[in-house]
Chain A
Amino acid sequence: MMTRYGMLIDTTKCIGCYSCRTACQRQNDLLPDEGFIRYEHKETGTYPTVSVESVPLQCMHCEDAPCASVCPTGAAHMGADGIVEADQGRCIGCLYCMSACPYQVRVRNSKTGAVDKCRFCAVQTENGTTSCTCVEACPTHARIFGDLDDPNSELSKAIVERDAHPIAGDLTRAKIYYVR
């Protein structure tokens, strides 16, 4: 079977500390105003018993990636192992992909004008290299990265055990699974 990378994010563990976002900025050498992870917050209950759920959102590496189907230059495209890529050298900055992505997770680099997004850099750590990815930075271990096509991977098992689902159901066949 082929490798098909994906991720699980457990929002019941997420404390909304933004560590993943800042770690990602450092790992990928992003500009201070450029972040690949954004957050939505859901409040439930009434004062004084309120609870807040933090939902980190980033590129879902959709199998039916709308960004790739609309990109006129092929800068946004499906790469190897199911990782959707954003080729900075091809992008003209028309922002069509940003309009087409249903999750608002693509960001325009304010210096170059090209559009970038989560690169699933956690793949580099597969061989044991330590780095500063969202997965490693998360203090509550809310994130698991791995191969969706390998039924024995930690990821695949956790998805089944914790009943995780893509954030928007079948929309775009996303590869990030959420426990909520």
Chain B
Amino acid sequence: MTYEPIWGSIIAWYLFLAGLGGGAFVTSVFIRFRHPECKKLIRVGHIIAPVVVIIGLCLLMADAFAGFMHPLRFALLLTNFGSVMTWGVVFLAVFVVVTLIVLIMDFMHKESPKWLDIVGMVMGICVAVYTGCLLGVCQGFPLWNNALLPVLFLVSAVSTGMAAVLLAGVFVAPDEFNTVVSLKKFHFWLPVVEIALVMALLFITAANPSQAGWDSVMTIICGNWAIAFWVLFIALGLVIPIVLEYWMLWFAGHEMETSRTGQMISGFSDLGVLVGGFVLRLLIVSAALPITIVQPWIF
């Protein structure tokens, strides 16, 4: 029989937005630490973080139809602490509350206490790691059931969070955008690490004793998902941003880097990172095949 993925694009959006929100808050803390004068960029991070996570949660609740019809059942989410999803709910709840408090303080022109920033940052990281563990504990799917996935999702989350803040910065705070060089340099390395992690994930999955591992990898690199993988994820989401940022940060002169054209080029690479981040979640959610369909014990 053919296999229909259990989770669809809504879950991919949710995983993407949860990671993006966590990453955006990490970015705002990073900027506050390294470039405290960049108030506008910090605020951009503060706004993006709770907003995208709340959108993601709304998507998730609408997708969980039985709960949507009986909202009180969502309270039961806190009953099984052996479930990764229950932990995710805790991390997300704390994250949303903390980031909203920080955002309100920001709008009231008050400095949020350092410890609150740290709590938010840790929760942001937990949320990003949780999106990987959520899939990782499903032992029937070799593409998910490995310890690399949470790491990959974390790196991608921080990368997309930074890209979102920088992209918005190009338009709302072009001067500050030129200042945050250390953020850009840090951000440059994330897609590089991601390439290594994705390669490792695919090699390890393909080597899974079950045929399903090999088949999942083939669907991604030369099957139904090949175009999305090579064009949208690898090229647009990783290689082009690496090349453009490398050129901007180390080759182009200061003039070029800080010109409007230079900013637009950086903005384009950030947009690519965001598209790639979503496509990564979509690929991982949709292309995973379960060991039971190929059934080594039946065939």
Contacts and interface: CB of A to CB of B under 8 A. Distances in A.
Contact of B297 (A72, A89, A93, A167): A167
Contacts of B291: 102
A72 B86 contact: yes
Contacts of A158: none
B141 A99 contact: yes
Given A40-B298, A55-B298, A91-B66, A96 B292 contact: no
Contact of A70 (B63, B74, B84, B292): B84
A96 B80 CA distance: 13
Interface in A35-75: 38-40, 42, 55, 66, 69-75
Nearest to B299: A42
Given A72-B79, A91-B66, A104-B292, A99 B6 contact: yes
Contacts of B299: 42
A95 B138 CA distance: 12
Given A40-B298, A72-B86, A92-B73, A113 B64 contact: yes
B59 to A, nearest CB: 12
A71 B83 contact: yes
Interface in B55-108: 60, 63-70, 73-74, 76-77, 79-80, 82-86, 89
B150 to A, nearest CB: 15
Interface in A81-121: 89-96, 98-104, 112-115
B80 A71 contact: yes
Interface residues of B, number: 40
A129 to B, nearest CB: 31
A113 B140 contact: no
Nearest to A40: B298
B153 to A, nearest CB: 16
A38 B73 contact: no
A42 B67 CA distance: 38
Interface in B6-34: 6-7
A168 interface: yes
B196 interface: no
Contact of B64 (A40, A42, A92, A169): A92
Given A73-B77, A112-B69, A169-B297, A93 B64 contact: yes
Contacts of B140: 66, 99-104
B83 A72 contact: yes
Contact of A100 (B67, B79, B89, B138): B138
B298 A38 contact: no
Given A113-B64, A114-B66, A70 B1 contact: no
A94 B85 contact: yes
Nearest to A55: B298
Interface string B126-143: 000000001101111100
Interface in B260-299: 290-293, 295, 297-299
Given A38-B1, A72-B85, A72-B86, A92 B298 contact: no
Contacts of B138: 66, 70, 99-100
B85 A95 contact: no
A102 B139 contact: yes
Contacts of A104: 3, 140, 290, 292-293
Given A90-B76, A94-B60, 7 more contacts: A70-B84, A72-B85, A92-B64, A99-B141, A100-B140, A102-B291, A113-B65
Interface of B: 1, 3, 6-7, 60, 63-70, 73-74, 76-77, 79-80, 82-86, 89, 134-135, 137-141, 290-293, 295, 297-299
Interface of A: 38-40, 42, 55, 66, 69-75, 89-96, 98-104, 112-115, 167-169
16 contacts: A66-B140, A72-B77, A73-B79, A91-B66, A93-B65, A93-B68, A94-B63, A94-B64, A94-B85, A98-B6, A99-B7, A100-B139, A100-B140, A113-B64, A113-B66, A113-B69
